[in-house]
Amino acid sequence: MPSPHTELLTLRDLLRWSISRFHAAGLVFGHGSDNAWDEAAYLLLHGLHLPPDTLDPFLDARLLERERQRCMDLIHERINTRKPAAYLTGEAWLQGERFLVDERVIVPRSPISELLAEGLAPWIDDPDAIGHVLDLCTGSGCLAILAAQAFAQAAVDAVDVSADALAVARANIELHGLQARVQTLRSDLLAQVPQERRYDLIICNPPYVNERSMQALPPEYRHEPRLALAGGADGMDLVRRILTEAPGLMAPEGLLVLEIGHERAHFEAAFPGLEPIWLDTAATTDQILLLRRAQLAS
């Protein structure tokens, strides 16, 4: 039987082979890509030490044997371990920015990033007027970093209960050269945040997956820290605490932007008196909400 080393000659050959293998293995996507093509292309380009957005010029390039083997090893590892691709490469990309990741944090993918890229317009009129931002449940620190880039005058607190997650966040803050403006803080939600803080903006992608959904998670998601995903029976355990405690740390005109994934029905059942503004992104609807301090305080 011919060897893959004699049949898979070009990147195009290897890409087709990888996609076929992914489909045959029944992989689940959603950690930076949502289909086999994009995931295979990302892994192969990483294995070849090529930029992640330069597939086309190299599709018909022939591979050295060691290059082909390195790429095939990555594809086999993705299939055999069912780990998200970002854990295999040690990096993830969000809004064109590179972030270091490993299994101490969930893979960066929050659609809040898209809203930050737009400066949260039209809800924030003047980005330079934002002086203090809190990224609660920061994980890898990706949203804290994107917030610092969106609001050039802001000091950003990146808060998490996990010391392991904060170690990753600090590495990313250093990678982006933002040590002077983004600081990490270990806190059980808002419990250890200094009470004199008054944030113009709080962004939060908390654990919100309800227990029934947790039990049905595919293997790829089970590699992520349960602490960063599980939100209790209805997914709202931590959200209840956040909405109760946040007003005391918000500026008078402060905003809270909160991601709840596919839990809108549970949110509305838990908070029937609240009328948030639902923020849509290119990929999501009914997953991110905006609340003003006055709504929460009342």
32: left (phi over 0), alpha (psi -120 to 50) or beta: left
Q: For the chain, give every residue range classified as CATH 3.40.50.150.
A: 91-297
| pLDDT given at position 4 | 57
pLDDT digits (tens, 9 = 90+) for 55-88: 999 999 999 999 999 999 999 999 999 999 999 9
3-class secondary structure, 179: coil
- State the CB neighbour count (10 A cutoff) for residue 268: 12
Whether this prediction's pTM lies above 0.85 is answered by yes
Q: What is the pLDDT of residue 166?
A: 98
At 109-151, the pLDDT tens digits run: 999 999 999 999 999 999 999 999 999 999 999 999 999 999 9
Q: Which residues of the chain have pLDDT under 70?
A: 1-6
Note the pLDDT of residue 3. 56
Residue at 173: amino acid letter: I
DSSP 62: B
Residue 247: asked if its preceding bond is cis (omega within 30°), the reply is no
Give backbone dihedrals phi and psi of 107, rounded to 5 degrees, phi first.
-70, 130
**Topology annotation, domain 91-297:** Rossmann fold (3.40.50)
CB atoms under 10 Å from CB of 30, counted, come to: 14
The residue to which tokens 């945040």 are assigned: 193
Q: Which two tokens stand for residue 3?
A: 């060897």
